Structure 1
């Protein structure tokens, strides 16, 4: 009798500890309720113009944070219950841990911001900004130049989007273009499309309709997405410089160092850091109060420009802006310069003059684009934070918001033989 009871006890414990279909159904219904409820909130707020206020703007972001928070853990748990497998890889575990902490911190900061917004709204209502929209003055106030600028920037936008979409199509459809370099390149193309699409379409619409207004919430959204894609572009350029450093300086260890899991983790970390930077820039702009009839001497909303137009004291905000610029701009620049310094020193040790010329030609063109992007971007960013000049830096902004995303497909890809062959194969299939 004792033998029978002892032999059955492990099975009894396993049955008691194993999840039942009721547990699966309960957590699945909770997950679907959470996702659908938050998606309904986002849809309601985005579709109703009466809900385009700061409170509902924060609520939309909180709904996104809640969806991300519950989607980090619940789907994996439901899959484990359904398949009776309790395994998660080491890299997936790290990704889950990073996302869980990120969305938890993001939600906590949003709740704090919403509490601060309620405090300001009900305790100090006289300090609230009465501005409901801004006026984007654009590049020129001359009506005769408007058609020329419209055609120029429309063609630049179409070339940028088409070129980057072709790169993404070539990389995703050709098996020979699946090394890490092209994986980073396709993500850079996505970042370039998002970066230029944040500013140019609104400018083209304003130029065509002769209306230069943008809502307050629309301006904050533009600030957020501009910094998100700009920072993502910067970090991906740094990642690509590191990839090239490993390929040239440590070719024997390249496959081990740059295998798919670390590459995916690098892109994920770049996106999370970019999202953090965009929210930090938004936190600098949100406490500002503005006077009526605010005219932005630019073709898009940018945090430094809004600081110059605020009626309240912006000394603390300016210091924070400098700190963010030094951290999120200086660290990637240092990484790129360090990588290319090591690359140049390795190239100089190559005996073949032909190899030196080819390597310097590739690295020189890429480094020139990096210098233009960071030089114009950081120059305009930091100078506008301390200068009240009306139009200073607007033309330079065109360089890093339009010209650089348009040049990236030519510099990084269309001069590449593998990309050309992949595009030729795609064109031959369509014809």
Structure 2
């Protein structure tokens, strides 16, 4: 009876172990775990090595016991050191080649001895490969922590988000033209590989650099060059106990650096999932994005116009196939001609039609945004105004050419 129970348990253990090994090297790599322990075992070479060694031990013990049950005669089985599953588990803790036997003796069946030999070889290979890989990881981690980015007017992304690939794709899209800037990414060490995989898929190795570190460390923020950046996007770190608090401290550190330099840059964009933190960030970040508020507004607008969501998606998705919203500084010739908003809109629409249509929909003046304003609301186009336009690609060159020839 005990023999049958042990055999069933051994088969179940073997199947579960095979599933775990398969998951470790396929699905786990793409999964986002919030706990530190799962991230260690599934996202680091040292953790995967330990997990694989334990899996190999359980699998080889179970298979050895099953082999003894199936291939041994009754008297051989009764004298085998592996005649129960617990004995097999203990025996496989001390693997060696079949020539030297196990700590408590060799399996009686040839198949059991073969499994023990492969287990010994497997322990050696797994231990060597993953320990070596873990040491290399430590060296890379040390190098990344010392790495400093000396770019200027670049973009910085701090923290991890499940939509990181979409974010980086937007920031490096060819449709941005001259406005395309290099991007520095600051994430924790266990997320570096995920970012680098994204960079490879986007073929953007020259545009995106990754540094490992903490959002709340001023030294790490300095390493990605936030003090010289054009803008910083702060994302709540996945798996953190207080992600919104990390965003708050990160924004405070960046604002402190900005105040010390006396510049208006970098622009601080904070993404938070809890709207309650918006008030705390309102005097620190330049722009606060809360998905809840955005979703509610879109949902309500969709009732009035069901196609609003698709229109909105197209206008914020940077690509060479769709039109997007851009802000462009008003070219100097137009600020001297005393053109009203309507007059300028007509000029831009008419003269950009052949090359690449551009539509003027508003302007930004003194931090205030005017969408489709009346002429008496904004008067003439002034120096420092930023034009809000819809265009297929970043239209600064087109607008400057039109202004120069107008």
Between Structure 1 and Structure 2, the one with more strand by share is 2
Structure with greater Cα Rg: 2
Relative contact order, higher structure (CA 8 A, sep 6+):
1
TM-score normalized by structure 2? Answer: 0.25
TM-score normalized by structure 1? Answer: 0.24
